[in-house]
Structure 1
Amino acid sequence: MSQIQYYGYNKCSTCRKAAKWLSDHGVEFTEHAIVDNPPSQAVLKKILASGEYELKDLFNKSGVLYREMNMKDKLPAMSKADAIKLLAANGKLIKRPIVTDGAKHTVGFKEDQFKATWG
């Protein structure tokens, strides 16, 4: 298994719960601040290629930036490439945390999903 990459935001309680779960279960990971160092376009494309997530699932729909940019109305008209480029440039638009080892991925934190994927 490749090194696990964790993209989170330390002020987010969901991200803190996810990081704690990984640590408590002995899962080693490299942490990235999602706002300063969002996942690359290549990482986002791999997540989408897995078939487990749709493009809209990668957006933080409850985020301030999502609302300020009126993404609810803009997203349906955007190309997939433009949406991925936008996400890779704006970590606050991305649903968090993202955990990936290149083959397996989780977006957001649900304990049962973490257990099945990383446990």
Structure 2
Amino acid sequence: MGSEILFVGYPKCSTCQKAEKFLRAHGCTAPMRDIKAARPTAEELRAWHQRSGLPLRRFFNTSGMVYRDLGLKDKLPHMTEEEQYAVLAADGMLVKRPLLITADRVLTGFREKEWAEVFA
């Protein structure tokens, strides 16, 4: 298992490192795509969001510095979905990480129990 999985994270993020360890322990060989160096496009984000069934705000890294610096907490409620995709695509550090994208699931953040269901 691995080729049908996309794993997106930030190499310096301790949670992403934990998620990567978890994936390796479960036989997943998908490499980590660096969210900062190869940031998701608006099109990818739109597709992942639609497949996830999650509210779009779950794709934002609300605890990150960039999110706070841009004042997005107050701006997001007034932005269209397209504007939100564009903001997310502009800076990978705004995107909640890690992301696990499979053929039928999209998970944001690392919650071991949730991720374990993918490998059950």
TM-score, normalised by the number of residues in structure 1: 0.91
| Cα distance in 2 between the residues matched to 1:41 and 1:85 | 6
| Cα distance in 2 between the residues matched to 1:51 and 1:109 | 15
User: Offset of 1:53 from its aligned partner?
Assistant: 1.1
| Cα distance in 1 between the residues matched to 2:10 and 2:83 | 24
* AA aligned opposite 2:81: K
User: Offset of 1:41 from its aligned partner?
Assistant: 1.9
Aligned residue in 2 for 1:19: 20
* AA aligned opposite 1:49: Q
Cα RMSD over matched residues? 1.6
Aligned residue in 1 for 2:43: 42
Which portions of structure 1, spanning 4 or more consecutive aligned residues, are displaced by more than 3 angstroms?
none
8 Å contact from structure 1 (residues 43, 102) kept in 2: no
User: Offset of 1:46 from its aligned partner?
Assistant: 2.0
8 Å contact from structure 2 (residues 39, 92) kept in 1: yes
| Structure 1 portions without partners, runs of 5+ | none
User: Offset of 1:85 from its aligned partner?
Assistant: 1.3
Aligned residue in 2 for 1:84: 85
TM-score, normalised by the number of residues in structure 2: 0.90
| Cα distance in 1 between the residues matched to 2:90 and 2:35 | 10
**Identical residues among aligned pairs (%):** 36
| Cα distance in 2 between the residues matched to 1:43 and 1:102 | 13
**Deviations for 1:60-102, whole angstroms, at most 9, x for unmatched residues?**
0000000000000111111101111111121010110011134
| Structure 2 portions without partners, runs of 5+ | none
8 Å contact from structure 1 (residues 6, 29) kept in 2: yes
Task: Give 3-state SS (helix, strand or coil) of 2:87's partner.
Answer: helix
Q: 1:42 to 1:4 in 2, by over 3 A?
A: same
| Cα distance in 2 between the residues matched to 1:51 and 1:27 | 20
